[in-house]
Amino acid sequence: MKSSYVLKIIENNMDEYSASYRRIAEVILEQPEKIVRMSISKLSQLANVSDPTIMRFCAMLGFPGFKDFKLHLAKELALKENYVHWSVEQNGNPDSYIRRVGIATISTLNEVLNSINEDDIEELVEILSNAKKIEFWGQGASAVVAQDAYHKFFRAGISCATTSDPHMQCMSAGVMSKGDVVVAISHTGKSENLITNAKIAKAQGGIVIGITMNSSPLAKICTHTVGINVDEDTDIYLPMLSRLAHLMVIDILAVGVMLKKGNQAMDRMRRMKESLMQIKYSSVDEESEE
């Protein structure tokens, strides 16, 4: 275990801790590198304590919250310069980081896939297939996922839009009505603007589908939630695994909707492909000009 000031404090005071604090301390001391990318709910599960107990433990150490404790610990573990990927070492060689990133991604996507409930997906496919309009909302890294979702659902013939601007989301939420659907995408589900706008859309009669962590603030106010519980701390690392998991869920929902739409969607896709063929580069055309 790497030496660290805060870890030394925890280790030196083990005998003074209560039983619940001792369990938290033991988990932290056993795997400090994992703690910096761990959610509070995951730590509470491992230590068999409540989230508030962990918050009090952090406060006892002088930190306002668990996030602040993790950031401090990350710096002390010399991770402050490695904000790239949790599975990669700072000076890893190409073979090391290629395999580590690949294996971590495959493993995470497999875990997410196994956690998906088929009945829930079928219900969401039904809702999305019958939607009057779908809006995909995401901010930061999630905006890219929202844009990808728009690109896919547009092909299915459903009226849809996407925006990452909180003000545009708010205005759109204010004029929503029954039959409109918002798909709000966020790993942490803690964006205040996104949560506020989702509440407005829901109050106006819209259906709000959240693609986020099960226990997030966003999940608690959504009409439906696809729980993506990827253990990736995006306060420290670039959102990679969570973003790919969200993209996979979008692909699953998009395919489900296209299958639900049947011949209508297939015919639309065919006509789109035929149009695209007219603007794609062709080596045959080049040869004919010669």
pTM of the model: 0.66
- In this structure, are residues 69 and 237 in contact, taking their beta carbons and an 8 Å threshold? no
Q: Cβ neighbours of residue 78 under 8 Å, at least 6 residues apart?
A: 2, 90
C-alpha pair distances (Å), 263 with each of 10, 19, 156, 228: 63, 62, 10, 31
| CA atoms lying within 13 Å on the CB side of residue 217 | 12
Domain span holding position 218: 117-277
- Which phi and psi (to 5°) does residue 222 adopt? -80, 155
> Are both 161 and 255 inside the same structural domain?
yes
**Statement to judge: residues 25 and 70 lie in one domain:** yes
The reply to whether 47 and 125 lie within a common domain is no
Q: Are residues 121 and 180 in the same domain?
A: yes
pLDDT of residue 230: 84
In a domain, 101, yes or no: no
Co-location of 139 and 27 in the same domain:
no
Residues 243 and 144 in one domain: yes
Q: Pick out the chain residues at pLDDT < 50.
A: 1-3, 79-86
Residue 185 near residue 136 (C-beta atoms within 8 A): yes
Residues 60 and 174 both lie in one domain = no
The helix/strand/coil state of 23 is helix
Domain co-membership, 172 together with 233: yes
State how many domains the chain has. Answer: 2
Final residue in a domain of this structure, among 56, 82, 108: 82
Give the gyration radius of the chain's Cα atoms.
Answer: 23
Going by their DSSP bridges, the two strands 224-227 and 133-138 should be labelled as unpaired
